[in-house]
Amino acid sequence: MSSTDDVKDVDAAIVDGKAPPSRSRPLDRDRIVATAIDHIDDNGLAGLTMRRLGSMLGVEAMALYRYVAGKEELLDAVVEQLVATMQVDDEVPDRPVDGWTDFLMRLAHGVRRVALRHPKAFPLVASRPPEAPWLRPPLRSLDWVEKFLSALTDEGFTDEAAVASYRAFSSFLLGHLLLEVSTHGADVGPLDVLADDTDEPDSLAAYPTVRRLRSGLSEDHAAVEFEEALEELLDRLALLRSEQAPS
């Protein structure tokens, strides 16, 4: 990866009679967004600037503005790309094939895989404004919400039960996955976890029970906890479906 000192001077290249660096591999919006995601994956969001992104692509920042209007639009495009990756996940169907429970299980694990592949970028899914104010992250695209709601109503959920399920499902995913990515170095604000070296024995002297159970608290059971919580949620949704079904 290029440093900020390696920014290519397109104007100087042209004055010297050289082809601008971007001529060898033309820019496009997809390439810019993919490079931004790579940068966030490696360095976090804080260091991402249009100038640094241009450096990584071998162009000056001004060349990027033909494809994205600025950093805010770039971040929105990053979120769109992250959500869209589930479209090419073979394990995430567009509609129920083996019932609604299987559909939601696969969908939940698809979202989790996005979070685990891009833990430092995933908080953007929660923080960027959605397409409509009533959409909820992480299932925040109209396309996925349409699939979710139509899948449940086709499987016998009333409209009210489908909407309630969408709210419960999205709340479960967001809460669990933000906590999980925070353990992978993601900046999630007040959810940030303390580094291990801050919990030295002396700092826990006043908390004997915490000190005694510290090793257990440090164990990583994220996958099991996700699965168990998801199963409990699906049981609740099944009850909601039966309670609101026409008599």
Domain boundaries, the chain: 4-68, 92-244
Burial track 7-20 (b if 16+ CB lie within 10 A, e otherwise): bbebeebeeeeeeb
Q: Is 228 helix (H, G, I), strand (E, B) or coil?
A: helix
Q: How confident is the model at residue 96 (pLDDT cuts 50, 70, 90)?
A: very high
Residue 13, pLDDT score: 64
Of all residues in the chain, what percent are helix, strand and coil, respectively (each to 5)? 65, 0, 35
Lowest mean pLDDT among 104-118, 130-144, 212-226: 212-226
Arch. (CATH architecture) of 4-68: Orthogonal Bundle (1.10)
Residue 105, pLDDT score: 96
Q: How confident is the model at residue 190 (pLDDT cuts 50, 70, 90)?
A: very low
**104 in Cβ contact with 237 (< 8 Å):** yes
4-68 and 92-244 share one fold: no
pLDDT tens digits, one per residue of 25-55: 678 999 999 999 999 999 998 889 999 999 9
Query: 244 Cβ partners below 8 Å, 6+ apart?
Result: 157, 158, 160, 161
- Which carries the bigger pLDDT value, residue 81 or residue 8? 81
Average pLDDT of the residues of the chain: 84
Q: What percent of the chain has pLDDT over 70?
A: 84
Q: In whole angstroms, what is the distance from residue 219 CA to residue 203 CA?
A: 20
Angle (deg, nearest 10), helices 222-244 and 159-182? 170
pTM confidence score: 0.78
Region 194-205: what's the mean pLDDT? 53
pLDDT tens digits, one per residue of 122-175: 999 988 888 788 888 998 888 899 999 999 999 999 999 999 999 999 999 999
Q: CATH for 92-244?
A: 1.10.357.10
Residue 177, pLDDT score: 94
